[in-house]
Amino acid sequence: MLSMDAAAALLGITPRILNLWQQQFGYPMPVRCDDGEPLYSDEMMAALREALDRELSVCSAMSKARATSRRSW
């Protein structure tokens, strides 16, 4: 599991952008620790990183990553 900072760094974006994507696209959605810290699955972030590398738009990448990460859970 990755913290918000680690997930954002893996994607090459800021935590603020990651938060905006969650609001706009509903993805990637973290789970919350007991202390409320958001954590992201390694599989979800890997699927999103791969989709972002291949797609022309963030919207398209979100759709593909969402479909891919659901299959891997």
pLDDT of res. 72:
47
**Tokens encoding 22:** 């969650």
User: Domain 2-72 adopts which CATH fold?
Assistant: Multidrug-efflux Transporter Regulator; Chain: A; Domain 2 (1.10.1660)
> Tokens 């963030």 appear where?
58
pLDDT of res. 70:
64
- Note down pLDDT in tens along the chain; length 73 residues: 999 999 999 999 999 999 999 999 999 999 999 999 999 999 999 999 999 998 778 888 888 888 887 654 4
pLDDT of res. 49:
93
pLDDT of res. 17:
96
Q: How far apart are CA 15 and CA 22, in angstroms?
A: 11
pLDDT of res. 15:
96
